Structure 1
Amino acid sequence: MKNQTTVVEFIILGLSNNHHGNIIMSAVLLDVFLLTVTGNLIIVTLHLVDHRLQTPMYFFLRNFAVLEICFTCVITPRFLYSLLTERKSISLPGCFLQLLLVFFLGASMFCHEAVMSFDRYMAICHPLRYGTIMNGRVCFQLVLSCWVMSFLIVVPPTLMVVLLPFCGPNVINHFYCDTDVLLQLSCVDTGHLEVMIFFSTTVILLGTLTVTIVSYGCIISTIMRLPSTTGRKKAFSTCSAHLLVVVILYSSCIFRYLRPGQQGVQDFDKVVSLLYCVVVPLFNPYIYALRNEQMKEALKDACGRISKCLRFS
Structure 2
Amino acid sequence: MQYQSNMTEFILVAFSLNYDLDVILFHVFFLAYVVIIFGNLAIITVTCYDSRLHLPMYFFLGNISLLELSISSVVIPKLLAILLPFKKTITFVGCFVQCYFYFALGTADFMLLAVMSYDRYLAICNPLHYVNIMNWNTCLCLACFSWTGGFLIDLVPGFIKATMPFCKGNTINHFFCDSLPIMKLSCMDTTFLQLLDFFLFSFIILGSLFITIWTYMMIAITIFKIPTVSGRTKAFSTCISHLILVCLGYGGTIFLYIIPKGNYYMSYNKLVSIVTIFITPVLSPFIFCLRNNVVQVALEDMYVRLKKSVLE
Same fold (TM over 0.5): yes
For the Cα contact (< 8 Å) 2:19–2:85, is it kept in 1? no
SS at match of 1:85: coil
Partner of 1:153: 153
C-alpha displacement at 1:286, in angstroms? 2.0
Partner of 1:276: 276
SS at match of 2:260: coil
What is the TM-score normalised by the length of structure 2? 0.93
Q: How does 1:174-253 map to 2 (within 5 A)?
A: 174-233=174-233, 235-236=235-236, 239-253=239-253
Partner of 1:254: 254
- Whole-angstrom CA distance in 1 between matches of 2:18 and 2:228: 55
Partner of 1:96: 96
Instruction: Give the direction of change, closer, same or farther, for the CA distance of 1:263–1:186 in structure 2 (3 Å limit).
Output: farther
C-alpha displacement at 1:160, in angstroms? 0.7
C-alpha displacement at 1:281, in angstroms? 1.3
For the Cα contact (< 8 Å) 1:56–1:134, is it kept in 2? yes
Partner of 2:79: 79
C-alpha displacement at 1:10, in angstroms? 0.8
- Whole-angstrom CA distance in 1 between matches of 2:286 and 2:138: 26
Instruction: Give the direction of change, closer, same or farther, for the CA distance of 1:152–1:308 in structure 2 (3 Å limit).
Output: closer
C-alpha displacement at 1:299, in angstroms? 1.2
Partner of 1:302: 302
Between stretches 202-211 and 212-221, larger displacement belongs to: 212-221
CA deviation map 1:239-292 (0-9, x unaligned)? 444323322321211111112244585221210111111111112222135631
What is the TM-score normalised by the length of structure 1? 0.92
C-alpha displacement at 1:39, in angstroms? 1.3
SS at match of 2:220: helix
Cα RMSD after superposing both structures: 2.0
Between stretches 235-244 and 294-303, larger displacement belongs to: 235-244
For the Cα contact (< 8 Å) 1:184–1:264, is it kept in 2? no
In structure 2, what residue type is equivalent to 1:37?
A: I
Establish whether residue 116 from structure 1 lines up as the match of residue 141 from structure 2.
Answer: no
For the Cα contact (< 8 Å) 1:245–1:280, is it kept in 2? yes
Between stretches 107-116 and 28-37, larger displacement belongs to: 28-37
C-alpha displacement at 1:40, in angstroms? 1.1
Aligned residues: 311
CA deviation map 1:34-55 (0-9, x unaligned)? 1111111111111222111111
- Whole-angstrom CA distance in 1 between matches of 2:212 and 2:293: 23
- Whole-angstrom CA distance in 1 between matches of 2:6 and 2:72: 31
SS at match of 1:192: helix
For the Cα contact (< 8 Å) 1:7–1:168, is it kept in 2? no
C-alpha displacement at 1:135, in angstroms? 0.4
SS at match of 1:11: strand
Between stretches 233-242 and 289-298, larger displacement belongs to: 233-242
- Identity fraction in percent: 39
CA deviation map 1:189-233 (0-9, x unaligned)? 112111111111111111111111112222222222233323434
Instruction: Give the direction of change, closer, same or farther, for the CA distance of 1:86–1:266 in structure 2 (3 Å limit).
Output: farther
- Whole-angstrom CA distance in 2 between matches of 1:240 and 1:62: 17
Between stretches 65-74 and 131-140, larger displacement belongs to: 65-74
Instruction: Give the direction of change, closer, same or farther, for the CA distance of 1:162–1:263 in structure 2 (3 Å limit).
Output: farther
SS at match of 2:291: coil
- Whole-angstrom CA distance in 2 between matches of 1:133 and 1:139: 9
- Whole-angstrom CA distance in 2 between matches of 1:239 and 1:57: 10
For the Cα contact (< 8 Å) 1:180–1:264, is it kept in 2? no
C-alpha displacement at 1:102, in angstroms? 0.3
- Whole-angstrom CA distance in 2 between matches of 1:265 and 1:10: 21
Instruction: Give the direction of change, closer, same or farther, for the CA distance of 1:307–1:161 in structure 2 (3 Å limit).
Output: same
For the Cα contact (< 8 Å) 2:4–2:166, is it kept in 1? yes
Give unmatched runs, 5+ long, in structure 2.
none
For the Cα contact (< 8 Å) 1:13–1:88, is it kept in 2? yes
- Whole-angstrom CA distance in 2 between matches of 1:96 and 1:262: 25
Between stretches 94-103 and 223-232, larger displacement belongs to: 223-232
In structure 2, what residue type is equivalent to 1:119?
A: D
CA deviation map 1:16-64 (0-9, x unaligned)? 2222222221222112111111111111111222111111111111122
For the Cα contact (< 8 Å) 1:15–1:267, is it kept in 2? no
Instruction: Give the direction of change, closer, same or farther, for the CA distance of 1:238–1:216 in structure 2 (3 Å limit).
Output: same
Instruction: Give the direction of change, closer, same or farther, for the CA distance of 1:156–1:125 in structure 2 (3 Å limit).
Output: same
In structure 2, what residue type is equivalent to 1:8?
A: T
- Whole-angstrom CA distance in 2 between matches of 1:216 and 1:300: 31
